[in-house]
Amino acid sequence: MTIKHVAPTKKIHSFHPPQRTLLGPGPSEINPRVMAAMSLPAIGYLDPVFVEMMEELKLLLRYTYQTSNALTFPVSGPGSVGMEYCFVNLVSPGDKVIVMRNGVFGGRMIENVQRAGGVAVVVEDAWGEPCDPEKLEDALKANPDARVVAFVHAETSTGVQSDAKSLVALAHKHGALTIVDAVTSLAGTPVMVDEWNIDAVYSASQKCLSCTPGLSPVSFSDRVVEHVKARKDKIHSWFMDMNLLLGYWGETTRTYHHTAPTNSLYALHEALLLIKEEGLENSWARHHRHHLALMAGLEAMGLRYLVKEGARLPQMNAVHIPEAVREREAEVRKTLLTEFNLEIGAGLGPLAGKIWRIGIMGYSCKPENVMLCLSALGSVLSDMGLPIQVGEAEAAAHHAYAQMHAQEAKRKVASIR
């Protein structure tokens, strides 16, 4: 036996990443408590202590999703695995699925339908526009045999939010189940699984939950469980077969399925506990508050939002890149990263080179990050010759915060009276 030695081009040392301010489309920054949880001792995934933690984790996820669904748990894998998990279990070969596409991730839903052997009926909306309920109603009337309706609640590629409650109600009116992508919305804006009667929903750990990437919280209604159990064919994925995972994440049994990522699950437990301690409504309000301040600053710089007011995601701010710097937009992002340790996101698909995506999610959603972003971006754009008065954006954000504080004080006085 001969051991091959690969000669590296440089000496390899332990990896120590730089400390960045993460204001892109994800991942978000991680709370020190969550980081500490990841470093706890590893134990077996069938250890009684770990099983007890799993039960708490499910309770915390039910709170965050606002559901009593028994089958609410984190899939081992990123949000894309959560997406595939939903489609591979709900879609049988030949099933007709209506998919609403208004961005990148609606497009990925279409591919999941096709790979599961289903027939995708695509309802198109412009990128940056919410999914149109009237278009869905028309599609359902034209396709009465549609088994599933799928849409993205919060489209990460554009920063637009659709009316999930109305879309789900329309699907149920016509006898279809629903799959909802809540990757970027969960804990940042309301996701009310029971109140909206969502059938299947998935999210991701690294967005507003501010946990390490690699877990996808999902939740399934009893209707979905019955639908999957009634399937005549085998689920076309062993790893993602809901029937098999019921044995590991179910209420009464714990049978071996796969080696669960124990330390990542510790981290998710702590991240969800932080949300519980803050309170969901307070988390939603925090994201909205800092969004208003960021928006005031960005607009003071002359930047225009892609999404119309009323449909904007507070945690994902997509703005048009000024014409004067469009040819240098990658240079802007590189300068922010190298000189300010600040990451923002680029546009995707037809919006590549046309928008920036600024995320304020979870632990990243705080006033110091808002002010740093405005100061750094204003400085870079000013250096590139744009007519930006340094400090003007920060002043606009401060004014927005002051107005919100004054309004809150008035509300408190009124409530006492």
- 291 and 241 both lie in a single domain: no
pLDDT one-digit tens code per residue, 254-303: 677 888 899 999 999 999 999 999 999 999 999 999 999 999 999 999 99
Could you give the CA distance from residue 282 to residue 303 in angstroms, rounded to a whole number? 28
- 297 and 273 both lie in a single domain: no
In a domain, 347, yes or no: yes
In a domain, 259, yes or no: yes
| Mean pLDDT along residues 206-223 | 97
In a domain, 318, yes or no: yes
pLDDT for the residue 290: 98
- 170 and 193 both lie in a single domain: yes
pLDDT for the residue 257: 80
Q: Identify which of 319, 383, 400 has the alpha carbon closest to the alpha carbon of residue 357.
A: 319
In a domain, 408, yes or no: yes
- 260 and 302 both lie in a single domain: no
Name the band, by pLDDT with cuts 50, 70 and 90, for residue 253.
low
Query: Above 90 in pLDDT, residue 245?
Result: no
- 216 and 328 both lie in a single domain: no
In a domain, 412, yes or no: yes
In a domain, 94, yes or no: yes
Query: Above 70 in pLDDT, residue 120?
Result: yes
| Mean pLDDT along residues 233-247 | 87
Could you give the CA distance from residue 94 to residue 255 in angstroms, rounded to a whole number? 32
Give me the domain span that covers residue 105.
32-277
- 265 and 127 both lie in a single domain: yes
- 250 and 307 both lie in a single domain: no
Decide: helix, strand or coil at residue 100: strand
Name the band, by pLDDT with cuts 50, 70 and 90, for residue 7.
low
pTM exceeds 0.85: yes
User: Which residues, at least 6 apart from 273, have a Cβ–Cβ distance to it below 8 Å?
Assistant: 60
What is the average pLDDT value for the chain, to the nearest integer? 95
Could you give the CA distance from residue 127 to residue 355 in angstroms, rounded to a whole number? 12
Query: Above 70 in pLDDT, residue 12?
Result: yes
Could you give the CA distance from residue 124 to residue 101 in angstroms, rounded to a whole number? 5
In CATH, what number is assigned to the domain containing residue 246? 3.40.640.10
Question: Looking at 129-143, 231-245, 251-265, 289-303, which range is the least confident one?
Answer: 251-265
pLDDT for the residue 352: 97
Virtual torsion, Cα 182, 187, 189, 191, nearest 10 deg: 50
Could you give the CA distance from residue 149 to residue 178 in angstroms, rounded to a whole number? 5
Last residue of a domain, one of 222, 257, 277: 277
pLDDT for the residue 72: 96
Could you give the CA distance from residue 114 to residue 94 in angstroms, rounded to a whole number? 10
Could you give the CA distance from residue 97 to residue 171 in angstroms, rounded to a whole number? 11
| Mean pLDDT along residues 184-206 | 98
In a domain, 223, yes or no: yes
Last residue of a domain, one of 215, 249, 277: 277
Using alpha carbons, list the distances in angstroms from residue 177 to 95, 100, 186, 230.
12, 14, 20, 14
Question: Looking at 89-103, 151-165, 238-252, 367-381, which range is the least confident one?
Answer: 238-252
Contact predicate 265/43, CB 8 Å: no
Query: Above 90 in pLDDT, residue 18?
Result: yes
pLDDT for the residue 417: 65
Query: Above 90 in pLDDT, residue 189?
Result: yes
pLDDT one-digit tens code per residue, 390-417: 899 999 999 999 999 999 888 887 777 6
Query: Above 90 in pLDDT, residue 93?
Result: yes
- Report how many domains make up the chain: 2
Name the band, by pLDDT with cuts 50, 70 and 90, for residue 11.
confident
Residue type, 122: V
Residues paired with residue 57 on neighbouring β-strands, in sequence order? none
- 229 and 347 both lie in a single domain: no
- 192 and 180 both lie in a single domain: yes
Tokens representing 135 are 């278009």
In a domain, 116, yes or no: yes
Q: Identify which of 20, 29, 21 has the alpha carbon closest to the alpha carbon of residue 362.
A: 29
pLDDT one-digit tens code per residue, 353-390: 999 999 999 999 999 999 999 999 999 999 999 999 88
Last residue of a domain, one of 277, 299, 334: 277
Decide: helix, strand or coil at residue 234: coil
Q: Identify which of 21, 25, 102, 20 has the alpha carbon closest to the alpha carbon of residue 315.
A: 25
- 267 and 331 both lie in a single domain: no
pLDDT for the residue 3: 79
Query: Above 80 in pLDDT, residue 172?
Result: yes
Strands (DSSP E) contained in 132-197 are 148-152, 154-155, 160-161, 177-181
Tokens representing 219 are 């939740």
In CATH, what number is assigned to the domain containing residue 403? 3.90.1150.10
Query: Above 80 in pLDDT, residue 1?
Result: no
| Mean pLDDT along residues 164-171 | 98
**Torsion sign over Cα 157, 160, 162, 164:** positive
pLDDT one-digit tens code per residue, 30-63: 999 999 999 999 998 888 899 899 999 999 999 9
Query: Above 70 in pLDDT, residue 251?
Result: no
- 107 and 178 both lie in a single domain: yes
pLDDT for the residue 169: 98
Query: Above 80 in pLDDT, residue 92?
Result: yes
- 348 and 237 both lie in a single domain: no
